[in-house]
Structure 1
Amino acid sequence: MTKQSEKIPYSILELATVGEGFELIDVFNNSLKLAQEAEKLGYSRFWLAEHHNMISIASSATSVLIGHIAGGTKSIRVGSGGIMLPNHSPLLIAEQFGTLGSLYPKRIDLGLGRAPGTDQLTAQAIRSDRTQAVYNFPEEVGRIQKYFSKENRSSKVRATVAEGVDVPLYILGSSTDSAHLAARKGLPYVFASHFAPTHLFEALHIYYNNFEPSAYLEAPYTMACINVIAADTDAEAERISTSMLRLMVGVMTGLMDYLKAPIEMTPELRQISQDPAFQRMLKYAFVGSKETVGKRTQSFIEETGVNELMVVSHIYNQEERIKSFQIFSEIMKENQSEPQSISL
């Protein structure tokens, strides 16, 4: 990896959020349109997250959607943020991403996590031996690395479409466990601070202090995810953010619903947003004008020292969503000067 300069690459985490009244084909088309716009705006990556049994998220067939996005774009890197590996056979994931890597050379990323991306009952329906797979997560990551290696050609079990294909691996985490693994394997580390900020600094400390250089990475490389809703004014961004607030209420109460159209901020919603549990969950939700979001983003970069930012935005209206990402791109371009390679 080349030496880091002052500029921080910025990327998008997409959940293919389903808005109330939207057909799935509209959701998938909007994801592609956002990726195409992101490519023009200088975003480095467009990752899709694996979730299951959630009516508000349509990215469950993650590798299929990655192919849809990569096929409709030209240069932006497309990948998983992530594939929840204990839900899957490492062999099949290697075959899927090896195929994607050949179809879209040097554009596919494979982010791997160990969480279920769903409730426990659904997780059991996905893979009955999932508990054992979670325990074996480090070994299953190793199996994927083996399937992608050229040396695996002499093995009896092969992912022939993956051998020698350039698909970088990333370890995802929302606690400290995966930080140890990423450091030990010398892989890039991605933290889900957009919904689980509590252990962010502890996890980064573990990763930086225990990192072992590898054939994949010479020095530590970190990414952190933040929520961003940007608009022309703080008041307009606050109005747009009511969609996210109501969605998060559903997440916290177990009453999941579609992403709803924004409303004017109500006293009840404002009170909910000030609840300590809500504040902890959305500690890194930056809502406001370009100036407001810019200040909070710069502070986050300085405090964490991460190499790259990943942005997620739960915004109902497609035009407002694209505008938010446009504003964030302007923030990143104006606050930084030198380009940085993200080759791993």
Structure 2
Amino acid sequence: MPASFAERLLRWYDSHGRKNLPWHDNRTPYRVWLSEIMLQQTQVATVIPYYRAFTARFPDVRTLAEAPVDDVLGHWSGLGYYARARNLQKAAQTIVQEHHGEFPADQEQLEALPGIGRSTAAAILAQAFDHRATILDGNVKRVLARHHAVPGWPGDTKVLRQLWGHAETHTPHQRIRDYTQAIMDLGAMVCTRSRPACEHCPLTSTCLAYQRGEMKLYPASKPKKTKPEKTTWMVILEDHHGRILLERRPPSGIWGGLWSLPELDAAYSADELSEACESSFGLDCGEAQLDAGFRHTFSHYHLHIQPARLTVANRAYSAAIADRDDQRWVYRDEALSLGLPAPIRTLLTSPAQPVLL
């Protein structure tokens, strides 16, 4: 009898799979959960140093639940998709308050936690509890879409339903922890988005896309939409102490809850920035010095950022802005310890690149 999908995959994993990733040691539900959240839309090589630093600072769910949010966001700064970090702490707090600090070993209860969906809940059950549970992350979707030649974009409800059906069919009843890691590894290491290494794949004998020479057709790409373009002034306001004014972003939306530079409407001209700072922040500033602008792309729009450096001209004016929950004067070193969006961190650490007005 020919070996099943799972049997061939597990044989490949025994010889070629990844077994020494940081979250493979001491697979507690907390450590598995953290790795799954960090790995969403982020590559393993990028995640590893963040994971190690995060678990060193927040070694368990109670530590994370009780930590200041700025500390959590600061350790997440640079990973992007910051809603993941906020949901991570909210889920930790729920686990402490409603589950006595213990992760529930139940799919429905796990999915009820902030930021945990069907596949992430299944990964926790399989990896941490060794329960039979079906996963379907991005790598697995790609493997199954090619193996079964499933047409369409995986984000489409009909396509997703088919992929879940295939995922459930192939999930074995033994070695579930190894199987879930194996199919994720195959997608990440062999059945890659571009240039899949089919010659090293254990599933080619039954892979419909391979047999038809149509690997590039599966899975179909997300239908493209033109992203809107937006522009903003990012002002680096410095007082006589050498401190910089930061503002906390609203809790929801882009860079939610992070500290960022104040913004001014792009309708202002460079010559109007000093006056705009006085009307917007109550600060008397000198002439603006412009840095080279750049574009930052979000999932649904492009943001053109034009940095401008201004110095507060009078000591009394900087005192007019007292530290608040959403606004504070900080030295650069202190700023870099906070949760900052990656472009803002780059602005504060890179040498100025003045442009002529």
TM-score (norm 2): 0.23
User: Which of 1 and 2 has higher RCO (CA within 8 Å, sep 6+)?
Assistant: 1
Bigger Rg, which one: 2
Q: TM-score, normalised by structure 1?
A: 0.24
